[in-house]
Every structure is written in structure tokens, then in C-alpha cells.
Structure 1
Amino acid sequence: MDHTRRDALAGAAFTLSAATAGCLDFAAGEGPQGPEGTPATLTCDDDGFVRLDRPFDASVAQTVVETDETSLELSTEGLTETYGQSLRVVLRNTGDAPAPTLGELAYSIQRETEAGWLDVRGSTTGEAVELPRTEESIDTSSAYSWNLTLTEAGIADAVDGVDLTVCPELGPGTYRFVYWGIVDAPPIGAEFELVG
């Protein structure tokens, strides 16, 4: 039986793709195990779980917000993110003056539900917790940058010094990152779809 170079390359490509697919399956684990789509609400089986409150009342601006002095832009690398991968978010001061903020931890990771947008994080101590706030500013041409691993532990552990958990587990659906720490400006958000 004659084998051509093309046959050899095709066989090598198949072997490599099968090996790579196995690695990706292993790296991603079982994928998102929480409710799919747009659930009625987010419920947690842990009786001690207290979800983070929504620390803002204003409507969330979409990716660009103006203050009296400057403007800021929020961006993500994509509109679809895979469970287990990193979500990179950047908040840039694109204006001409520093923007006072409440620090880098003044953000929410929310899931869209029929009851509205709810933070996926909370405390299991039975008591409400608040995220740390510090008086800072983003200078002109400067930015805050976040790299959040899209797993329950990755999101919960992103805030040092606060005992958080994600409940229920993440599921395929619509989420958004909301930065609510710009002083005298509405919160700014970026939506993304989480897939398995």
C-alpha cells in the first residue's frame, strides 16, 4: 500500500487535534454546572449564604461614561467567554482629568435573571458583607485592569480579605461586569455570554 506525504500529514494533524481536544476537555473540567439561560432568580441551597447587595441605584451605562471632568471606557476582549478561561476587563480614563474612584474592588459580577441582574457572589457566614472601598483616582491615559478566571473559585477568590463564594454554580447565560466606583458618575458595565 502506497502512502503519500499528504496521507502522513493528514494522519499527524488528526492525532494532534485529538490530543489537543483531550487536553482542552481536561483543562475545562466539567464546564458550567449552574442553571442555563435566564433563570427566574439565583437561589442557593446554603442557608447561610447572603448575596452581595447591589451597591448602586442608577442604570448601568454601556461601556462609556462621562463625568463633569473626564470620560471613561470599559472594555472586554470578547462578547463570548468560556467557563474556566480568563475574563480580561479594562477601565480606561480617556479624558483630560483624573477620575476619582472607590478603588479597584468596586465592581460586581452579575447574572441576568427574570428578577433582574443579581451578583453571583455572596458570603456563607449568614451576614451581609461589603467589598472594600478606597479613595483613589485613575489618571488620564491610565487604567484599572482585571483578569478574572471564570470559575466559582476564580471569581470568589479575586477579592483578598473577604470570604466570598459563588452560589449557585455558574451556568451558561448572560453575565456582566459592572464597575460602580466612579465618583459622581453612573456605573459602567460590559455584558458577555458564558459558554461551556
Structure 2
Amino acid sequence: MFSDDLILIIKGDKLHLNQKLNSIYEIIIQFGLKPNKEKTFISKDLKKIKYLGIYLDKISDIVYNLKKAKETFNNCKQLFNNNSLNNNLKIRLFKSFILSQLTYGLENFNYEIKTLNYVNSWMNTAITEICQINRNTPILIYKTEFKIENMVISVNKKKYKFKKKLKNLSFPYLEKLIKFNQRANNKIN
């Protein structure tokens, strides 16, 4: 196992982080692997992370997601301009193909509300084009009807779920593998 095969994002104090790292090391050692502690490092709240040769940072991440969402939206424009399609279907397509690209991985970084509001305003523009809404009609009515959340709320919910998963982090599959491995070794010996 190489040092760049694993990235662990934990928020908390150093004691909590060291406990998690030690439990991971114990599991890794039980599989016969040797973690390289020299290459293991603890970073602070970074704006940029290098992972598998790619730099992940919150600015380029949101810009990339928005760019991909806009490209997908432009590719689907002909479909969205089709009057024979129901608005519900158009919004479902928007949520499936465009909104999923836009919100992918947003829980990984802390974004400024200004950035999320910019993304939210683009999303509002896209919805007005899809549903062919008059500019004077409040977009909130349509967002409520089609159950589309504000980006700030959506990202905060994702972060909450992500943090909750991190707090309850356990390794049931690895633990089962370790027990299976131990039983197999006992039978051989």
C-alpha cells in the first residue's frame, strides 16, 4: 500500500486524529501491510490537497463542477425547450444530470456563502429557462414545488451527513475480513 492510496479527512483535535490513525494502522498491520509513518502526515485546514497526483482545491473544484453542469445544461437545452415535455420530467432530468454534477463533492470543503450564492443564482437561471418562467414570477414557488433546495442549505445538509458518517466510522467489512483471516490462519496452524 502506498502513502498516496489513502486520504483521511477528520475534523477534530490531534488526540482524536491519532486514535483514528492508530486504529487504521492496527487493521493495516493485521493484513500484513506495513504503513510508512514517515510518509504519513497530518495537514491542517488546507485550501489545496494533492491526492493521486491531482490537486484538489475548493475554488477549482466548484469552478469545474459549475463548468461541467453548464456544459451538460447546454447539451440538454434542446430537450428542455421541447414544449411537449412536462415540467416535472424536465426538472427530474435537471436534478439527475445537472444538479448531481453541480453538487458532487461539495461537502469536502468549506465554501464561502458568496460562492454558493453564485452557484444558486445560476441554478435559478437554469430553472427559469427549463420551465420557461416569466422573470417576474418568484423562483421560490417553483423550487418549492419541485423540491429543489437552496445550495447553502443543500451543502450544509450534505456536510452534516458526511460528518455524521465520519463520527460513526467503523470498519465492519475489514473487521469481518480480519476475523475470517484469523480463523483461516488458525485452521492452517
Q: Same fold (TM over 0.5)?
A: no
TM normalised by structure 2 equals: 0.20
Which has the larger share of helix?
A: 2
Which has the larger share of strand?
A: 1
- If asked which structure has higher relative contact order (CA below 8 Å, sep 6+), I would say 1
